[in-house]
Amino acid sequence: MSRTISHYTMPDGRRIAYRMVEGAGPALVFLPGYMSDMAGSKASALFDWAEEHGRACMLLDYSGCGESSGDFADGTLSRWRDEVVALVEARVTGPVVLVGSSMGGWLMLLVAEALGNRVAGLVGIAAAPDFSDWGFDAAQKARLAAGETIHEDNPYGPEPTPTHARFWQDAETHRVLDGTIAIDCPVHLIHGQRDADVPWEISLRLAEALRSDAVKVTLVKDGDHRLSQTRDIALLLRILAAMPEPA
């Protein structure tokens, strides 16, 4: 994979790191999960596949993550959505397919609503919309609402995972599962049924909430949250290859 990292500067000076390969559209845009970045295995595999097949592809790091500037504690869905939208509008021509992993699967919905007709399709990988609601108990929500940062055990690293009040309070304003999500493009949701972080039923709720009728859900019975085993990534790439071309 090309290791060249470019930066896009937001109006307030934030420098958003990204990698881009030119090619045929629709361009693939990968949105990482919470505290993740473009160096992950799924993002890397997607980029390599795009290069091999002559497809345009963009990977990126949200501010406060990976190679981008900023403090993670300042990150919110609104902030990261605006970064993705600005980067796509400045660096990508034509239609895009958004690929969102976990929190990135929530963010792709917000980005898709902002980009409108430019979005040719969505692919969610263990998408986690509304986790500010179902992901915390009443005591945690009360602490977050009071402005506290909470920490939880992190199964993927030695440091506990923080949730900052600013992130949670902003996320609560972007909950989507209880209404109709005004997205009409083709959507394919992939979810492991042994996901210990995001219940697979969330993808079924998301499928129901989407206005589009062109929605498919693929459940991987023995799949975990990351869905980064070789066979899981092969499934993702097959789904991307089969996404319909924009009209």
pLDDT digits (tens, 9 = 90+) for 25-69: 899 999 999 999 999 999 999 999 999 999 999 999 999 999 999
Q: What is the CATH number of the domain that holds 193?
A: 3.40.50.1820
State how far the Cα of 247 lies from the Cα of 174, in Å rounded to an integer. 29
Strand partners, 29: 58, 98
State how far the Cα of 55 lies from the Cα of 59, in Å rounded to an integer. 13
Residue 149 within a domain: no
Residue 151 within a domain: no
Q: How far is CA 123 from the centre of its chain?
A: 9
42-45 CB contacts, 8 Å cutoff, 24+ apart: 42/101, 42/125, 42/226, 42/227, 42/228, 42/233, 42/236, 44/1, 45/233, 45/236, 45/237
pLDDT score recorded for residue 2: 52
**Position 184: which residue type?**
D
pLDDT score recorded for residue 11: 94
Assign 231 to helix, strand or coil. helix
**Do 187 and 181 meet the contact criterion of CB atoms below 8 Å apart?**
no
Is position 225 annotated as part of the catalytic site?
yes
Residue 153 within a domain: no
**Candidates 63, 195, 203, 232; catalytic one:** 195
Residue 146 within a domain: no
Residue 48 within a domain: yes
Residue 206 within a domain: yes
Q: Which helix (H) or strand (E) holds 43?
A: helix 41-53
Strands, DSSP E only, in the chain? 6-9, 15-21, 24-31, 55-60, 96-101, 119-125, 150-152, 161-163, 187-192, 215-220
**Candidates 102, 132, 174, 203; catalytic one:** 102
pLDDT score recorded for residue 127: 98
**Candidates 174, 188, 191, 225; catalytic one:** 225
Q: Which of 33, 26, 95 is nearest to 55 (CA)?
A: 26
Q: Number of folded domains in the chain?
A: 1
Residue 156 within a domain: no
- Please compute the mean of the pLDDT values over residues 146-167 and round it to a whole number: 90
pLDDT score recorded for residue 246: 61
For the cut 80, the answer to whether the pLDDT of residue 1 exceeds it is no
Is position 7 annotated as part of the catalytic site?
no
pLDDT score recorded for residue 247: 53
State how far the Cα of 138 lies from the Cα of 140, in Å rounded to an integer. 5
Domain that holds residue 89: 6-134+177-242
CB-based burial of residue 47 (10 Å sphere; 0-12 exposed, 13-18 middle, 19+ buried)? buried
Is position 102 annotated as part of the catalytic site?
yes
Residue 159 within a domain: no
pLDDT confidence bin for 178, thresholds 50/70/90: very high
For the cut 80, the answer to whether the pLDDT of residue 244 exceeds it is no
pLDDT in tens, 189-233: 999 999 999 999 999 999 999 999 999 999 999 999 999 999 999
